[in-house]
Amino acid sequence: MLVTLVWLAGRYEASQVQSRLERDTADAVSDVRSALTRNVQSLQALQAGDPAPMAWEINAAELLRQRRELVRIEWRDANLRLRTYAQSPYRPVSWDAGSRESSHSDAALACTNARRLGGPAYSSSYFQPHGDGLGSEMMELCLPLSGTGRPAGYVVATYALQEMLVDLVGHNLTRSQEASFTEADGTRLAVLGAARRGSRMFTAQHLLDLPGTALVMRMDSWHGAPSLFPNVLTALVTAMSIALVTVMVVLVRDNRRRLRAERDLADALAFRKAMEDSLVTGLRARDLQGRITYVNPAFCAMVGFSPQELLGQSTAAPYWPPELAEEYRQRQATRFAGDLPPRHGFESVFMRKDGTRFPVLIIEAPLINAQGLHTGWMSAFLDISEQRRIEELSRASQERLQATARLATVGEMASLLSHELNQPLAAISSYATGSLNLLESSALPGADGAANLQDVRMAVQHIARQAERAGRVIKSVHDFVRRRDQTREAVPPQELLDAILPLISLQARKLGVRVQTSVEPGLPRTLCDRTMVEQVLLNLARNAMQAMDDPAIHPRILDIRVRRGASNAYSGWLEFSVTDGGGGIPPEVAQQLFTPFFTTRAEGMGLGLSMCRTVVEQHGGFLAFEPHAPRGTVFTFTLPVCQPALT
């Protein structure tokens, strides 16, 4: 510990020196940046009031005497041609006029950046020889001038990097440290100060980021080896004494904190217990071996057993119905084997202590402890008896609504039926009259009785055929209207279409609509309520034909298709589509299309599409629509595929 303390003391003193050097470097960069900003403002002031060249030269010369870091100031026009200039009296420099007027000079490049940025820009540093055979690093500043929104010229100022260190960096920073401007690769451009030599050098660098270029400010400082032993030994004695007192204080605080934590834990446990007792959702925890380790009061009230009767049960829970116990054991084994998703929900049937059965919704999830280890399973239970009762009432209401809708549909089809039945009835009447005439003629003397009997037989066959046709039309309407139990069965898709095609054909012939149907080969059966799905198909088909009831629409084609929809590992779907060639659905109507009692027809009730969506969603599918190119609308809904029974 003592060796570590000595080493830490040395590290601390070195870190203090380095931190101080970092602060000095940052202060130097801040001083330089502030001075450059003031110089930009001074250069802008030269152009105030649109001065004459002579007055401008006088003001520029005065600025050069005040700012020794500036070597030369030029006033150039919008084409970068030199109008006038002023030079510093402190540093004579021989300037090459040809190279400065070049389009590739540093001043020209800086002005190009200034024009692009819309503000002052700096050039990279370059070496400028002096008249005495020496030279120094220079940097150009270009300040664009604007008039009436267009470039009016430029002010170009030349900085000497060495003079920037002398005049812009605080003298207190360079007395004991060496300051320099360097490039990114470490090449020194200007150096100021002579640091005292020591056994260890400390270096700090800070970026001076200027528009168009960047310089690195570097500070170097040398220090001798710190006097560790006198300082550290004195500090150790004091530190040990303080440590003893600190340990006692910490122990007292820790004891108080522990007592406070125990009180908080007791309050948290009491709050958790009160919260669990107030839940209406049953909770049950099991370990990895399937033993019940926890049940809340809601679960005990749900099944009618006390916690003592449930805790520790594993192979056969007392709330399992005896006839389903084996199935539940297999399901529990599958859960513990990890073959199901981490969070899984399903419905089941439990038995109360008095023997009554009730449905429950179970949601199971893995139980993870504070160390991230899987220690068991947590289950949540909801008694859905009331929900099932409400669903039955809802299904009964839907069934009555279906019956009402079917009766309303039949009422609309009454006129169509009268027209449709006129043909077979007229044919029956004609054939019957012909038969009577043939019978009367066969009774006359000299008549050919055999030929007349053959004609009568043919007429009677036609009468039977037309009567059968009329009977089929009436039977299709009768089957559709008749109330059926809402039971789901496996139905081939083609049978659903065949059941409604006679009813669709009635209205199609009246409106001049050609009906096309397409069923993808090899489709599986769908698990659905036949009557309700037939009502959905009939409503969508009738709406599609009514959408084409416009003399301007030709041809009128109703296309009904059935194909295989999207599927996953757990279920498959069949997709039904009804396509019309009407005028489409306006956007303002599309927003309220499935709203109950919303209709665009004066004779409509506004319940058809709302009922269709309810029926499809009760089957687990979805009902949607989209525009059809070049015109019309496509209504699409899905129904689940009948899954084969698992063995």
- As a whole number, mean pLDDT of residues 288-300 equals 84
Residue 501 or 571, more confident:
501
Between residues 117 and 422, which one has the greater pLDDT? 117
The CA-based dihedral angle spanning residues 154, 159, 164, 168, taken in that order and rounded to the nearest 10 degrees: -20
Query: Which pLDDT does position 50 carry in this prediction?
Result: 82
- Three-state DSSP class for 197? coil
pLDDT at 410: 61
Q: At 585, is the pLDDT very low, low, confident or very high (cuts 50, 70, 90)? A: confident
The pLDDT tens digits of the residues spanning 425-451 come to: 766 776 677 777 767 766 555 555 566
User: Do the beta carbons of residue 555 and residue 646 sit within 8 Å?
Assistant: no
pLDDT given at position 557: 92
- Rounded distance between C-alpha atoms, residue 204 and residue 173, angstroms: 13
How high is the pLDDT of residue 449? 59
Q: What is the pLDDT of residue 474?
A: 66
Q: Angle, nearest 10°, between helix axes 608-618 and 385-442?
A: 120
Helix boundaries (H) for 47-105? 53-66, 97-101
DSSP H/E element including 40: helix 2-46
Q: Which of 34-38, 276-280, 402-406, 530-534 has the lowest mean pLDDT?
A: 402-406
- Average pLDDT over the chain, rounded to an integer: 80
Residue 647 has pLDDT above 50, yes or no: no
Quick check: pTM over 0.85? no
Which pLDDT does position 288 carry in this prediction? Answer: 81
* Minimum mean pLDDT range among 143-147, 193-197, 563-567: 193-197
The domain locations on the chain are 2-222, 279-383, 388-483, 487-647
Q: Does the pLDDT of residue 181 top 80, yes or no?
A: yes
pLDDT, tens digit, for every residue of 444-502?
555 555 666 777 777 777 777 667 766 666 665 566 555 455 568 899 999 999 888 87
Mean of the pLDDT values across residues 186-199?
Answer: 73
Q: What is the pLDDT of residue 310?
A: 84
Architecture of domain 487-647: 2-Layer Sandwich (3.30)
Segment 336-363 shows an average pLDDT of 78
Q: What are the two backbone dihedrals, phi and then psi, of residue 533, each rounded to the nearest 5 degrees?
A: -70, -35
Mean predicted confidence (pLDDT) in 377-389 = 83
Q: What stretches of 166-262 adopt beta strand conformation (E)?
A: 178-182, 188-192, 200-210, 213-223
Pick 279-383's CATH classification: 3.30.450.20, 3.30.360.10, 3.40.50.1000, 3.30.43.10. Answer: 3.30.450.20
pLDDT in the model for residue 327? 81
pLDDT more than 90, % of the chain? 17
Residue 603 has what pLDDT?
61
User: Is residue 646 scored above 50 in pLDDT?
Assistant: no
Q: What is the pLDDT of residue 609?
A: 83
Picking from 457, 446, 444, 560, the residue whose alpha carbon sits closest to that of residue 500 is 560
Cα–Cα separations (whole angstroms), residue 372 to 254, 285, 290, 294, 365: 28, 17, 19, 20, 14
Give the separation between CA 27 and CA 7, rounded to whole angstroms: 30
State the pLDDT confidence band at 256, using cuts at 50, 70 and 90: very high
Question: Is the pLDDT at 419 greater than 50, yes or no?
Answer: no
Band of residue 422 on the pLDDT scale cut at 50, 70, 90: low
Instruction: Provide the CATH topology of domain 2-222.
Output: Beta-Lactamase (3.30.450)
- Least Cα distance to 220 among 187, 189, 178 occurs for 178
Residue 418 scores a pLDDT above 70: no
Q: How far apart are CA 180 and CA 187, in angstroms?
A: 10
2-222 and 279-383 share one fold = yes
pLDDT of residue 406: 62
